[in-house]
Amino acid sequence: MVEDKELSAQRSAWFVQDRFGLFIHWGLYSAIARYGRGGLAEWSKSTDKISEEKYQDYFDAFDPDLYDPRAWARTAKQAGMRYAVITTKHHDGFCLWDSALTDYKASNTQAGRDLLREWVDAFRAEGLKIGFYHSLIDWHHSEFTIDGFHPRREDLEFREREKGRDMHKYAEYLHGQVRELLTGYGQIDIMWLDFSYTFMDWDWAKGKGKDDWQSEKLVAMIRELQPDILLNNRLEVEGDFQTPEQYQPRTWISEQGKRVTWEVCQTLNGSWGYDRDNQNWKSPDLLVRMLIDTVSKGGNLILNVGPTARGEFDPQAVATLQALGEWTHVHGRAVYGATQSTYSAPEDCRFTRRGKRLYLHIFAWPMQHLHLDGLAGRVTYAHLLNDGSEIRFQEGIPDEGGHVSGKDGMRPDTLTLELPIQRPDVLVPVI
Ligand code: H79
């Protein structure tokens, strides 16, 4: 087991350097009208109990004529993202690649081809690491047993008629599709499987988990096909990294007292799939703080874009990523290869550390003086990261009449920065 942990840490070496990735949720749900109901667009089939007949409309209409994965890859790269993970299949069962095991795939829509292959080629060409999100849940497959999430859970007649469904057959399909994905597209860096829910229980249906997915066997196959791949932890079998979702952990995540590799996944507007009517956009400023907060706790951030049904990133997403790129362009040194510091940061601040360099991120710009207890005697030089201009500082308790007045709270080990009045503002405002 110890050896496994070491192997996992070795596999994760690039991942914990790269820190910032792009998540892409793209499928038939990208077309669904939600009229401001909010929630998760990609969950619509379940939450709105959409019938197969109605869902077929989205399949028939799917025609991503503006799909240009090279443009997506350039946008991601420019934002400072170093890897990307795309939905090969989400819970609705629709496949972006030309799977031999189903007809429910992009190649049978007006797109008429394997959309995943172009994506893989485009992102690799930009030098980004690539990952596959693949849903364990499948509301389209005829052997997937009807549980509390299934779109037809309340159709009693249907449930009665469909009692012969066999999850073992579904598991075979699942394994077969993962095999296709991990043999047909060269080296894949991340496998992101979603998700086990045995902890959720209903009167008449138990949540699904490792027995349903045959998780042990699945993981063994994944490791055999792609020995270096990073696997997330959502199939009830130990993976390489933890995956908090739309939640910023308070501290570095640990298991049995040991810090683990982790990646928080976050949305731009609260939905993973594109939702025309959801304008709950996070500002670039907030997203920068989320990235810093994550790295300051030793984690990764994977930020999601839900492209439109025609295959484009919408302008708000592009503008937001562009603003993030302006920031990472000058502050990347505090993110890539950086991690938690042993120093604890003052109020409204975060520390990240890369080697011997300590980076102080100031979320609320103070009036000129910022006091850092414990740092006197440990800093030789300080500067702003955006322009490399010097920041002067004083150490210890100031003399009477010194520049820093008042001795309350000052300690011999206090280092006091003298900041400019105005925060250097490198974020482009987004409308
Ligand atoms: O793919 C994205 C989501 O669709 C999927 N994981 C990310 C990466 C996911 N989102 N939430 N969950 C998994 C957990 C399930 C939450 C639920 Fe619900 C609570 C399902 C039913 C109640 C949220 C609220 C979804 C439907 C209603």
Alpha-carbon dihedral sign for residues 70, 76, 80, 86: negative
* CA 151 – ligand 1 centroid, Å: 14
pLDDT of residue 204: 81
Banded pLDDT at 397 (limits 50, 70, 90): confident
Q: Which DSSP letter does residue 61 get?
A: H
Which two three-digit tokens encode residue 383?
A: 């500067």
Residue 405 pLDDT exceeds 80:
no
Tokens 């490791």, residue located = 223
Nearest residue (CA) to ligand 1, atom 5: 194
Nearest to 41 by CA among 54, 53, 32, 50: 32
The ipTM, to two decimals, is 0.96
* CA 92 – ligand 1 centroid, Å: 13
pLDDT of residue 140: 98
pTM summary value = 0.97
Domains of the chain, with CATH numbers? Answer: 2-334 (3.20.20.80), 365-418 (no CATH)
Residue 140 has, within 13 A of its CA and on its CB side, a CA count of 21
Buried b (16+ CB within 10 A) or exposed e, 105-143: bbbebebeebbbeebbebbbebebbbbbbbbbbbbbbeb
Task: Report the nearest atom of ligand 1 relative to the CA of 90.
Answer: 1
Task: Report the nearest atom of ligand 1 relative to the CA of 91.
Answer: 4
CA 109 from centroid of its chain's CA atoms = 28
- When pLDDT is averaged across residues 53-65 and rounded to a whole number, the result is 98
3-state secondary structure 309-324: CCCCCCHHHHHHHHHH
pLDDT of residue 2: 54
pLDDT in tens, 85-113: 999 999 999 999 999 999 999 999 999 99
pLDDT of residue 407: 66
Buried b (16+ CB within 10 A) or exposed e, 367-405: eeebbbbebbeeeeebeebeeeeeeebbbeebeeeeebe
* CA 28 – ligand 1 centroid, Å: 17
pLDDT of residue 398: 77
Banded pLDDT at 205 (limits 50, 70, 90): confident
Residue 403 pLDDT exceeds 60:
no
Residue 19 has, within 13 A of its CA and on its CB side, a CA count of 25
pLDDT of residue 430: 53
- When pLDDT is averaged across residues 41-63 and rounded to a whole number, the result is 98
Task: Report the nearest atom of ligand 1 relative to the CA of 194.
Answer: 6
Which residues, judged by CB distance below 6 Å to any ligand atom, belong to the binding site of ligand 1?
A: 25, 39-40, 42-43, 47, 194-195, 245, 265, 272
| Average pLDDT of the residues of the chain | 95
For a ligand 1 pocket test, name from 32, 37, 42, 43 the mutation site with the most ligand atoms within 8 angstroms of its C-beta: 43
Contact 260, 239 (CB under 8 A): no
* CA 131 – ligand 1 centroid, Å: 20
